[in-house]
Amino acid sequence: MSNIDHNDIVIEVTGLHKEFGGVKVLQGVSLYLCRGENLAVLGRSGTGKSVLIKCLVRLILPDTGDIRILGQEVLSLSEQELNQLRIRLGYLFQESALYDSMSLYENILFPLKRHRKKLGAGEMKDLVLQALESVGLAAAYDKMPSELSGGMRKRAGLARALILNPEIIFYDEPTTGLDPYTSRDISELIVRIQELYNASSIVVTHDMKCAETVSDRVCLLHQGQFIAEGGFRELLHHEDKTVKEYFI
């Protein structure tokens, strides 16, 4: 990190700890994310990956540590300040978190109606259709969530995460529960979104193929700590035994 221009850093985390019922999930985690970068946080299920990104957006409060996003100290923000920051962030939940009673169009429209009230109805419609087009769902705008396949639900969740043109996107296990072909499509879509929106992203995953496809850099999380960091190919040939076990 010594060679990184601090003006390029959009997220900086230092010494993050979190435990639940005496079980230490995060044990002094530190990381950074640069502008325009896709960072993959790779690790097996249950290693604390999802807890980490939920701490970053303060859906979960860490026990100790510092989190700085887009120049703001996240843990010291008021609720109003935090909500303003979250508008600049996109979050793709594991289960996509769509509203079952709303059509796909209405799901994507919802954040605009809440946070971009000055926009006219025509402008909102154009933005929704543009977001749906960017994830390949323009023809499915009138479908209900129950009519969507798993891959389509992931795409829909991503369209909603993109609708406010976020500066940073968090992907929580974006390929979980998908077949290999759909997983590949979603991974490739994440790369296209980075190019199209020039967003910075953190992708937490246990899917090696996803990490390889999307990442500019990988941090390997093991038992609540990062044990290796670098390019995917670099970690693939790492000499440490524990790191090697992830790539066998």
Give tens-digit pLDDT for 22-36. 999 999 999 999 999
**Which CATH architecture does the domain made up of 1-88+166-248 adopt?**
3-Layer(aba) Sandwich (3.40)
pLDDT, tens digit, 9 for 90 and up, residues 163-177:
888 999 999 999 988
What's the confidence (pLDDT) of residue 1? 55
Instruction: Supply the pLDDT for residue 97.
Output: 78
In tens, the pLDDT along 40-84 reads 999 988 889 999 999 999 999 999 999 999 999 999 999 999 999
Radius of gyration of the chain (CA): 18
Cβ–Cβ < 8 Å for 43, 49: yes
CA distances from 92 to 154, 158, 178, 201, 239 (A): 8, 6, 15, 11, 34
Comma-separated ranges of CATH 3.40.50.300 domains in the chain: 1-88+166-248
Span 146-205, pLDDT tens digits? 998 888 888 898 888 888 889 999 999 999 888 898 899 999 989 988 888 888 999 999
Q: How many other CB atoms are there within 10 angstroms of residue 63's CB atom?
A: 13
